[in-house]
Amino acid sequence: MKIIPLGGLGEIGKNMMVVEYNSQILIIDAGIAFPSEINSNPGFGVADTKYLSDKKNMIKGILITHGHDDHIGGLSYFLSQFQVPVYSTPLTKNFIEFKIGNKNKDNLHIVDFYESYKLGEFQFQFFPVCHSIPDSAGILVKTATASLVHTGDFKFDDNPTIGNPINTEYLSSLSSNKNLILCSDSTYAEKPGHTDSESLLATNLEEIIRNAQGRVLVATFSSLLSRVQQIINISTKLERKVAVVGRSMIRNLNFALDSGYVRDPKNTVISLKESSNLHDNQIVLITTGAQGEINSAMGLISNMRHSELKIQKGDTVVISSSPIPGNEVRYSHMINNIFRQGGEVIYQSISLVHVHGHGSQNDLKRMITLVRPKYFIPIHGETRHLVAHAKIAENSGVEAQNIFLIEDGYTVEITKDKAILGPRVASGTTYINH
């Protein structure tokens, strides 16, 4: 078995991993890299797939861990180059459909958690993990030589707002696979302790909304449905109505309500037009643009360019996110602009209004001790995150010679007896219009 990351190692974003065995290939994720202040290239970056260009007939399929753009945003481009089946959970499939349009919908297939599937010489199984979007998955890939556990993005949350806690008994059972290699999320490998549960936000958010004299605007990610559910629950309790702003937020919420991922038994959610007939202290607005993206709802509002909404004195604006690495300047600019317009801004630096969807050091150690891999590759992170995670693995009992601290393009070759670093392949970034 060969493991070849083409994106996501040594960087945040454009996640893509190649698993190769007996001249057959399985791919995990196809994401984009987000623009940043240190990168002058326009548009969005996807993984360079030169390595795969003469191996099209070897590719059996692509497995998608969850519906965030850094895992699915490059899929449309990828499918324009490689016509292969795509496997994901139901909600992830819905997010993918929105991204790729009608052209490649026949390529999309839904998988059930814990069900075993076979593609060529690969067997694979999706298992549920906690993250900041429902239906997130880790993936087990088996071959006759070795087995791979790819965690996807994860954290341990014993009291998640949506879904169930990670099945630790299942994770422990994975250790029965001999010659096992674990590829694990490194995003918060530098952060001590455990990542807080999503449920801990409820008290803070309720206090903020209860004390607000006027409108409350909450900016968050359109895919963070657990946060949306919390706001609906709190607003219902405090007898406020909720309106959502931003195309992706409206679309995601409508699908989540229709499919049962989000519940609104008291019909708290109304349209933006309906909200205009209510007093300011009866309204909570949920918007996209928690990173201050220029054309997002909150990006437009903060720059006084939104056609329907403007910040007014008495507004309480909650930025329910932390800045993505590389986006700190834009994030700060958004907050300053809202203050200038008379809004009261509450954000992560001054109050607990956001928790991460990635495990901190104790969570990462817990994953390693449950799975007990023979080999370990830290993935999904900048170089400093990968280095920190490698140290956690060694302190958790993985032998130092079995830890592979690699970046995009490196190859790890696993036989029945050993794992070695193989030749480096072509890798890099291709920039596309998104």
Q: Could you read off the pLDDT of 20-30 as tens digits, one per residue?
A: 999 999 999 99
Of residues 280 and 106, the one with the higher pLDDT is: 280
The pLDDT of residue 364 is 98
Segment (H or E) for 251: helix 247-259
pLDDT for the residue 105? 87
92-106, 380-394, 418-432 — which is least confidently predicted?
92-106
pLDDT score recorded for residue 98: 87
pLDDT of residue 39: 58
**pLDDT tier, 40 (very low <50, low <70, confident <90, very high otherwise):** low
Mean pLDDT of 113-123: 98
pLDDT band at 41 (very low <50, low <70, confident <90, very high): low
> From CA 402, how far away is CA 375, in angstroms rounded?
5
pLDDT confidence tier of residue 352, bands split at 50, 70 and 90: confident
Rounded CA gap, 310 and 301, in Å?
A: 6
2-193+356-432 and 198-347 have identical folds? no
Is pLDDT at 434 greater than 60 in this prediction?
no
Categorize the per-residue pLDDT at 42 as very low, low, confident or very high, splitting at 50, 70 and 90.
Answer: low
**What pLDDT band is residue 87 in, cutting at 50, 70 and 90?**
very high
Q: What's the whole-number mean pLDDT along residues 123-134?
A: 96
Amino acid 200: pLDDT? 85
HSE-CB for 247 with a 13 A CA cutoff: 5
Residues with Cβ within 8 Å of residue 373, at least 6 apart in sequence: 149, 175, 180, 181, 182, 398
pLDDT of residue 14: 95
Count how many residues are written for the chain.
434
The pTM score is: 0.92
* Tens of pLDDT, residues 226-280: 999 999 999 999 999 999 999 999 999 999 999 899 999 999 999 999 999 999 9
Catalytic residues: 185, 358
State the pLDDT at residue 420.
97
The pLDDT, as a whole number, for residue 34 is 72
Q: Where are the domains of the chain?
A: 2-193+356-432, 198-347
* 411-414 and 2-7 beta bridge pairing: antiparallel
Supply the pLDDT for residue 395.
Answer: 98
- Which pLDDT score is estimated for 432? 84
Distance (Å, whole) CA 34 – CA 129: 24
**Largest alpha-carbon pair distance within the chain?**
70
Per-residue pLDDT tens over the stretch 64-74: 999 999 999 99
Q: What is the dihedral of CA 344, 345, 351, 356, to 10 degrees?
A: 150
Q: What percent of the chain is modeled with pLDDT above 90?
A: 86
Please say if the pLDDT value at position 38 is more than 60. no
Query: What pLDDT was estimated at residue 27?
Result: 98
Neighbours of 397 (CB within 10 A): 11
DSSP 347-378: ETTTS-----SS--HHHHHHHHHHH--SEEEE
**CATH for 2-193+356-432?**
3.60.15.10
**In the prediction, which pLDDT does 35 show?**
64
pLDDT at 328: 84
In angstroms, rounded to a whole number, what is the distance separating the alpha carbons of residues 180 and 81?
31
101 confidence band (pLDDT: 50, 70, 90): confident
Q: What is the pLDDT of residue 161?
A: 87
Work out the average pLDDT over 212-217.
Answer: 97
**Could you report the per-residue pLDDT of 3-15, keeping only the tens digit for each?**
999 999 999 899 9
CA distance 131 to 153: 6
CATH architecture of 198-347: 3-Layer(aba) Sandwich (3.40)
Task: Name the band, by pLDDT with cuts 50, 70 and 90, for residue 162.
Answer: confident
Percentage of the chain with pLDDT > 70?
A: 97
Q: Given a cut of 60, is residue 37 above it in pLDDT?
A: no
Higher pLDDT, 362 or 292: 362
Average pLDDT, the chain: 94
